[in-house]
Amino acid sequence: MSNRALEEYWIHIAALIVILIIAAAVIFISTPNYLVKRPSDPVLKQDGSKWRIACYEAGDYREYVETLKYLAIELDEEGWIYGLDEDQLDSFSSTSEIWNYLGTEVKSSYLEFPAELFWSSAWNYSLREKNREDALSKMNSGQVDLLISLGTIAGKDVITDDNPVPVIIMASIDPVKAGLIRSVDDSGHDNVHTVIDSNQYRRQIEIFHDSTGFKTIGIGYDNSSPESISYSNIDLLREISKERDFEIIEYGTIDDNPDLTLSEESVIAAYTYLAPEVDAVYITQQNGVNPESVKRFLQPLKEYNVTTLSMDPYLVERGVLFSVVSGEPRFYAPVYVESIGMILNGAKPRSLEMKHSFPFRIMVNLDTAEDIGFEVPKGLLISADIVYCSPDTGGEVCV
């Protein structure tokens, strides 16, 4: 090999080494180790004391209650707590009741659930400001070892860059759009973790459209804040509408308000307005949508034979036509508890995998289909996991 050829050879080798070093550096800097797997078995703190767990919510909501219930059940199954009575747990209708039960009656050799480390603001802004200040103060003073954040607004309150306490966001519909985390791949905060099935709502809307073929869909939601907007999935609905060429009609509601009656009346007004204007409605999560208001806001929709899709599956039993759900708290709980275990065993919250895919269930209400004159496609009926109907309809698959 000539001297010139040898020189060029080593130049190429040197260039290749530089490229590999730069590539490795980029990967190291920009890609956290999401596949970190630490032990998740029950463990005490290094000083032999128990972990002090905290819980923060902006106000009571049905999904928060279910989330905390299934979390408690899974903690019991994994040995973090013991003496849990599931029948008693099912009797509770608020997160505060569950927290009190965990702190006073359930036993644990590893965890504490202090009463002073639970905050609920009843959707009251002034109380929320006070609770946020108290929560951050206790977190910064070392009184909290791990905090459970229930909902999007709660996450907004407790996530700060200078707080070292691990925060696990639960029951947030779209933590990326709400600005809680950077992306589905990176929380953007060393102390923040959540669990996401990023396809669950797209799957829900697409199956509904495939099954009903609607041309116009209505949605009532509160557009007064990024948090409220994130509850509605309106951005996703707009994206799918462009792909599938259907029209969206929107109507403003009132949410995150301490006056529940005001929220309920706004939802009823929304669906009363939308009923004659659309052939389908997407019923999203908000305080005004609840078991007490469902009969009233469904009435105008049924009168105009509007097909209905519910973000929450429990509404199908109460008269909504259809739901596809994979984000149920009972599916999330094992993953959350494993994450809690790994964090308490030393893993950084940001290093844990957030993206998960959960099994989904299709739910249909045949009574509602009959009331509005909608013929449920046979394929959908066969694939449905739960079909609701009254005994006199003769549908043997109904439960």
Give percent of the chain above pLDDT 90. 71
* DSSP 3-state of 148: strand
Give whole-number Cα distances, 365 to 210, 322, 381, in Å: 17, 7, 10
**Chain-centre distance for alpha carbon 100:** 23
Q: What is the pLDDT of residue 218?
A: 98
* 295 vs 390, residue with greater confidence: 295
Give whole-number Cα distances, 261 to 115, 124, 267, 290, 385, in Å: 29, 14, 10, 11, 34
Return d(Cα 313, Cα 334) in angstroms, integer: 20
Asked if pLDDT for residue 16 goes beyond 80, the answer is: no
Return d(Cα 185, Cα 350) in angstroms, integer: 9
Asked if pLDDT for residue 36 goes beyond 80, the answer is: no
- Give the pair of three-digit tokens for residue 115: 């009463």
Asked if pLDDT for residue 33 goes beyond 50, the answer is: no
* DSSP 3-state of 150: strand
Q: What is the pLDDT of residue 22?
A: 32
**Chain-centre distance for alpha carbon 265:** 25
Asked if pLDDT for residue 27 goes beyond 80, the answer is: no
Residues 138-152: tens digit of each pLDDT: 999 999 999 999 999
CATH 3.40.50.2300: does it fit domain 200-325+360-393? yes
Q: What is the pLDDT of residue 6?
A: 42
CATH 3.40.50.2300: does it fit domain 51-197+328-351? yes
Alpha helices in the chain (DSSP H): 3-30, 62-77, 86-90, 95-104, 125-140, 152-158, 200-212, 226-232, 234-244, 260-274, 294-303, 314-317, 329-344, 366-371, 378-383
Q: What is the pLDDT of residue 3?
A: 47
Name the one residue in this structure whose structure tokens are 């599916």: 331
Residues 214-246: tens digit of each pLDDT: 999 999 999 988 888 888 999 999 999 999 999
Give the start-to-end residue ranges of the domains of the chain: 51-197+328-351, 200-325+360-393
